Amino acid sequence: MSIRKIAEMTGLSTATVSHAINGTRAVSSESKQKVLAAAAAIGYRPNIAAKFLRNNRSKTVALITPGVRPGMPSNYFYMDVMAGVHARLNEDEYSLIITTYEEPMEESRSFSFGVLEKQWCDGLLVVPNASEPSCIEQILKSELPYVLIDRKIDRFPCDYVISDNEKGSYEAVRLMYERGRRRIAFVGSQLRTSASHDRYLGYRRCLAERGLPEDRSLVLLNGSLSIEEGMRSGALLAQAGADAVFVSDNILTIGVFRYLKGAGRRIPEDISLIGYDDYEWMSDVRPGISSVKQRPYEMGYRAAALLLERLGDPGRAEGRACTLDTVLVLRGSH
């Protein structure tokens, strides 16, 4: 089935049919309706490859994120980001390609994004791995417009959408202090991304402003994010005499909580606990876990909007930053 067939069915020229389908020139509403009805009747689908070659636009955006792991709550964060991205792109009839990378990377491997090599997208939405130079090098080498999500890289001024992680962390630690806690511990990942760095910065700033020394025995920066590492951290902090724990990652929160409950520590009577991100399981356990809530759907939606603006104005030099507020969700653990 072809454009020629639709032209025969509608009595229109092949040129008019082509413009109506591809949007390359204005046609009357009546003609467009005839073309769309005929196309639907014969099940016609436009040749995307040919359209790309004609217009140099694929109407496709790639979303690049760290890979997800089966059964992990962190999967939901990037699923919500993706949902927001898809909703905004759909408004402008853009398609979405999703590709992932492993984090952390093995030293012997480097990033390889096939979607960049094939040049089949108009722009990129990227959750960057700041500790791996080849990640950014590939993005810059592609010369495609891009927007960073969830993490920023200060040495690359560009469009980005992130959470106010420093503020979220600060408010969580301040609440613990106001509840009389003085040996407040921090559990997080190694400071490889802006998000992890800012969460640690908020913790440190809150302690400093209240005259509390930073006790290194109360700070655990884990090389991997796993429930097992969280349990190990909970055990070490209990031995160090922590009376409060702020955990800046939801998977580590599960491990810390599991250890404290298993060891018979009362939450929050013996030790208070606040986690990061907000998932249903945090309400289902007893006590419910207080947490810092991000807005991943809006993060994705805003990032897609910024990228579409960039595609419409490719000559704009300055980068645009969007920082979303976090919300402290109070349950029973703090």
Using one digit for the tens of pLDDT, what is the confidence trace for 253-269?
A: 999 999 999 999 999 99
**For residue range 280-312, what is the model confidence (pLDDT) as tens digits?**
888 899 999 999 999 999 999 999 999 999 898
Question: By three-state DSSP, how is residue 193 classified?
Answer: coil
Q: Helix 227-239 and helix 250-262: axis angle, to 10°? A: 50
Across 114-138, b (16+ Cβ under 10 Å) vs e yields: ebbeeeebbbbbbbbbbebeebbeb
CATH level 3 topology of 165-293 = Rossmann fold (3.40.50)
Give the residue, 245 or 120, on which the prediction is more confident.
245
Give the span between the Cα atoms of 209 and 186, in whole angstroms: 16
Q: What is the pLDDT of residue 113?
A: 58
Tell me the pLDDT band of 131, cut-offs 50, 70 and 90: low
Residue spans of the domains in the chain: they are: 3-46, 60-163+296-326, 165-293
| Distance in angstroms (rounded) separating the CA atoms of residues 29 and 275 | 55
CA-to-CA dists, residue 333 to 111, 121, 148, 180, 244, angstroms: 40, 46, 33, 14, 10
Is 15 strand, coil or helix?
A: helix
The architecture (CATH level 2) of 60-163+296-326 comes to: 3-Layer(aba) Sandwich (3.40)
At 13 the pLDDT is: 85
- Full-prediction pTM beyond 0.85? no
Do 60-163+296-326 and 165-293 share a fold? yes
Backbone φ, ψ for residue 145 (5° rounding): -60, 145
pLDDT digits (tens, 9 = 90+) for 184-196: 999 998 888 899 9
Average pLDDT of span 67-76: 65
Return the closest-CA partner of residue 75 out of 328, 251, 288, 294. 251
